[in-house]
A and B are shown apart, each in its own frame.
Chain A
Amino acid sequence: MKQLIPLLIAATCGIVLIITAFIPATVTWGEVAAVWFDILAAIAFVLGGANLLKIHLQRISEQEEGWAYSGITVVTFLLTLIVGLLKWNVPPNLDQEFLGETFVRVPVEQIPESMHYSVPVDLPAELVHHHLPLSSHRQFSVEINESGERITSIGFIGWMTANQKRELTQHHQRLDWQCAIDQLAETASPPPELNGVVRYVPNHRSLSVDGPLALEGETLLRSQSETADWQKSIDQLAEKSRRITQIPAADLPEGFEIPESILDRVSLGTETIDISGPISQSLKEELIDVFPRSRPMTSEQIDEFIQQLAKLPGGLTEPQTAFVRNSLEGAWTADQLIVVLNEADTPQPGKKSYCDLLAEQLAGGTVLLETIPPSGNATPLNEEQIAALKSVLFDPARSLHEISAALSTAGHFSQAQQSALDEFLGKQPTIGTRNRQLVVGLLSGDQQLSPEQLDFLLASYREEHNWRERVHAAMLAAHVTKYPWSGEYVAVGSPFWWSYEYAFTPLTATMFSLLAFFVASAAFRAFRAKNLDAFLLLGTAFIILLGRTSAAVILTAGLPDSLAFLRIENITMFIMSVINTAGNRAIMIGISLGIVSTSLKVLLGVDRSYLGSGDD
């Protein structure tokens, strides 16, 4: 039995793989067999580790010669294993964290009855015979009439998330079902005060709040149920979400002001900046976005900038001057922004709800269009608005944030245009980033900049970078890690990374490099032309050695084209692609025939040597 099972596994896998190689219809059999092979190969890694421990611990135990090396092997093996498996000191992967959110565990069973929602429907019962989406199966329920043929109502526990709504509506491609889910989602939605702030996350069985929980929101949540569990959960949510994180107020960016949109979360004290609640990526970006962005420059402003730079020690060469001028002139323009704002005001087509489409269908509609044609006309910026826009743009003393006020005062300015303006400005580099890009271009090739010029160009970027780092550190400090093991085990700075970078890499590279020294020694002592065969071998080695370097081209470059075949690089190519290939093919064909023969013996159980002797 000990030999029979491995024998059967080997024979079955081998025969299946042979069959799949000849019959395309059985290719999936090969995939299954190969996947099992891969699983066994993964297990072999574990067995290999266990075997390594067994052998070396035995050597240590018996104090065989060189047992100290075994000790070092075991210690390093265990250290690497531990730091790798435990992901020691590996920071969590921020992509998988819920930055800015606070969670408290609330199982579905503890969700108050006031948050159990249902809508009456009349749908065929077979619609729920299929498995429902995993994201909703704990919360979604149906009531079926006595005959078991019709669904009379559908229900939902807690608030339905956008993802749950999408998955449920896509579960059946029929309008009556989709309309019912739409109605249920509308019913199972939080009060307007909590919409977009508090949500129930079914996968985590948790209630979550984005940012700090406001008092009004807390009162609303508490009013859902008087049970002790629920009240305790809300206590925790309020307490956790309102923690204060502080950033020292020293060395703030020049002219730092807290953006108006986050004044309810952030306050500037004498010694610290206090931030209420966990910091989301968007809040972080708003805190960072306090540096002026680059803006179009007039030719006089560009000249002045170039003069300032040229006056500093080091000066500017002509190509450098041209580069700076082209870069600054190639920045965004007022006309580009005007086009964006005019396009943003173009009315967009609307989208009908599933219930609208169902109503159309029931009314006899055969061609159902999901979109509603746009209504109204676009209002392009008027002359007065364009003038106001340009006056803000070309006046460095005025902030770009004044643009919307100037446009609103001078004429029609819609919310869509405001969003487009924010998006457009958000894509423009800050002055610090722009100047850094200038530095990269100015230093390309052999060009130089003096330390004074680098300070002039990089000062604001340095300040920006430092501020960004401080805000990022505050974000991490305010965050409660949800998945501590989500980081990559080779994350830069982790112990595993250190051992890989500073032990494994140099050690393995050293082992490989030692070859050069041993081959050199062998070349001197053993490569002797004692007979014709050895002479031919040495001659070939000479040519290949030279042919793999630039020496080949240099040594025989003087040969005329008619004798080009005698150039060393061409002889090398000939040897490799003709003589070497012919020899290797003969060997490979021989080996392949041997493999076929051996494989057949293994598959048929004639050769069992790979199973070992059976003696342990």
Chain B
Amino acid sequence: MSDSSPAPTIVDRLAGLDRRWIFLLMLLAVAIPILLELKFPETPSQQAINVFNEIDSLPPGSKVLLSLDFDPSTEGELRPMASSFALHCAKKDLKIYFMTLFPGGPPMVQQTIEQVINADFPDMVYGKDYVDLGFKPGYEGVIKVIITNLRELYTTDARGTNINQIPMCQDIESVQDMDLIIDVSAGYPGCKEWVQYARTPYPDRVKLVAGVTGVQAPYLYPYVPGQIIGLLGAIKGAAEYEKLVVDKYIEGEPRAVYQEGVRRMGPQLIAHLLMVFLIVAGNVLMFLQSRQ
């Protein structure tokens, strides 16, 4: 008994390509640039410039709330932003109040402090120049309370020190006393909640800039620039802002921790080109199949 169906053409074979080949291509597209340390020049966008200018225009001693609302799942995308924000604030002699709304966030704060503050700013004193307020459960409820009364929720810092004994917290009644809120956000609770419960009710007292994941960015653009002064989207935004900070404040070769954004743009470029290629290839194959 002979098989009457025609032999599959090359187009059919390609159209039915095992997806593991695509996975392999994606692996190579990400791994090769990492191994070869491919870097490409970055041109800061207006959004990155807005974020940079807002922080850069603060006078020394200004109070900045740095809310690192992410955990390890999005660390790859958001860690470079967190490091650059901490570096910029430290270089400007701003007083940094770290906090997080994510249960898995406290180590993110600690790592930022270790990698940036402790490593490059040993003269900064805990409690005088920076403080870690830690994590509080309650999602947007936390923002809702601390926007009018910080001590209602934060009676101690993350180390258990009474907040009244921390010099830089003594003149803080609420988040409205901050000169700027910087949010590094991976989702809920995060940037949108800071807009809704902090910036919107107190538009004259609260200023907000943010760095967010690529998935979130499209949903947050409607808030720019009315409620969010500047928005860094994904690793691209991180790399642009990183470049602005490094160019202005670091002489010579920066440490690796301040090149993470630019370094991760290499794999991103190749991976995006691969995606474009796959979309084109898929459509061409569909067209050829329809002609057969």
Q: Within 8 Å CB of B283, what residues of A?
A: 527-529, 538
Determine if B265 and A549 form an interchain contact, defined as CB atoms under 8 angstroms apart: yes
**Interface size class of chain B, counting residues whose CB lies under 8 Å from the partner chain:** 35 or more
Query: In chain B, residues 158-212, which have Cβ atoms closer than 8 Å to a Cβ of chain A?
Result: 158-160, 201
Question: Once bound together, how far apart are the Cα atoms of A396 and B200, in whole Å?
Answer: 66
* Minimum Cβ distance to chain A for residue B153 (Å): 7
Say whether A520 faces chain B, with CB atoms less than 8 Å apart. yes
Determine if B265 and A550 form an interchain contact, defined as CB atoms under 8 angstroms apart: yes
* Minimum Cβ distance to chain B for residue A536 (Å): 14
User: Contact partner of B23 among A521, A530, A581, CB < 8 A?
Assistant: A521
Query: In chain B, residues 60-108, which have Cβ atoms closer than 8 Å to a Cβ of chain A?
Result: 71-76, 103-104, 106-107
Question: Once bound together, how far apart are the Cα atoms of A545 and B137, in whole Å?
Answer: 36
Say whether B236 faces chain A, with CB atoms less than 8 Å apart. yes
Question: Once bound together, how far apart are the Cα atoms of A505 and B42, in whole Å?
Answer: 29
Determine if B273 and A551 form an interchain contact, defined as CB atoms under 8 angstroms apart: yes
Query: In chain A, residues 37-63, which have Cβ atoms closer than 8 Å to a Cβ of chain B?
Result: 37-38, 41-42, 44-45
Question: Once bound together, how far apart are the Cα atoms of A27 and B147, in whole Å?
Answer: 11
Question: Once bound together, how far apart are the Cα atoms of A229 and B241, in whole Å?
Answer: 68
User: Contact partner of B45 among A42, A501, A529, A573, CB < 8 A?
Assistant: A573
User: Contact partner of B282 among A96, A519, A527, CB < 8 A?
Assistant: A527
In the complex, what residue of chain B is closest to A512 when comparing beta carbons?
B73
Q: Within 8 Å CB of B32, what residues of A?
A: none
Q: Within 8 Å CB of B145, what residues of A?
A: 31, 34-35, 38
Query: In chain B, residues 203-245, which have Cβ atoms closer than 8 Å to a Cβ of chain A?
Result: 214, 217-219, 221-222, 224, 233-234, 236
A side interface size, CB within 8 A: 67
Question: Once bound together, how far apart are the Cα atoms of A96 and B160, in whole Å?
Answer: 10
Say whether A524 faces chain B, with CB atoms less than 8 Å apart. yes
In the complex, what residue of chain B is closest to A551 when comparing beta carbons?
B269
Total A-B pairs, Cβ < 8 A = 174
User: Contact partner of A584 among B45, B46, B138, B219, CB < 8 A?
Assistant: B219
Interface centre among A506, A548, A576, A584 (most CB of B within 10 A): A548
Determine if B218 and A580 form an interchain contact, defined as CB atoms under 8 angstroms apart: yes
* Minimum Cβ distance to chain B for residue A561 (Å): 15
In the complex, what residue of chain B is closest to A534 when comparing beta carbons?
B283
User: Contact partner of B222 among A35, A44, A585, CB < 8 A?
Assistant: A585
Determine if B152 and A520 form an interchain contact, defined as CB atoms under 8 angstroms apart: no
A512-B76, A520-B274 known; A500+B107 contact, CB < 8 A? yes
Q: Within 8 Å CB of A513, what residues of B?
A: 76
Determine if A41 and B72 form an interchain contact, defined as CB atoms under 8 angstroms apart: no
Q: CB-CB contacts of B9-46 with A at 8 A, as 1s and 0s?
A: 00000000101001101110010000000001111011
Q: What are 23 inter-chain pairs, A to B, with CB distance below 8 A?
A: A21-B201, A27-B148, A31-B149, A445-B253, A486-B160, A500-B104, A500-B107, A501-B107, A509-B72, A520-B275, A524-B278, A525-B19, A541-B279, A542-B276, A549-B268, A549-B272, A550-B43, A551-B269, A551-B273, A573-B45, A576-B233, A580-B221, A584-B222
Give A contacts to B, CB under 8 Å: 17, 21, 27-28, 30-31, 34-35, 37-38, 41-42, 44-45, 93, 95-96, 444-446, 486, 488, 490, 497, 500-501, 504-506, 508-509, 511-513, 516-517, 519-521, 523-530, 538, 541-542, 545-546, 548-551, 553-554, 569, 573, 576-577, 580-581, 584-585, 588
Give B contacts to A, CB under 8 Å: 17, 19, 22-23, 25-27, 30, 40-43, 45-46, 71-76, 103-104, 106-107, 110, 136-139, 141-142, 144-145, 148-149, 152-153, 158-160, 201, 214, 217-219, 221-222, 224, 233-234, 236, 252-253, 265, 268-269, 271-276, 278-279, 281-283, 286
- List the 3 closest pairs (A to B, CB-CB), nearest first: A38-B138, A550-B40, A508-B73
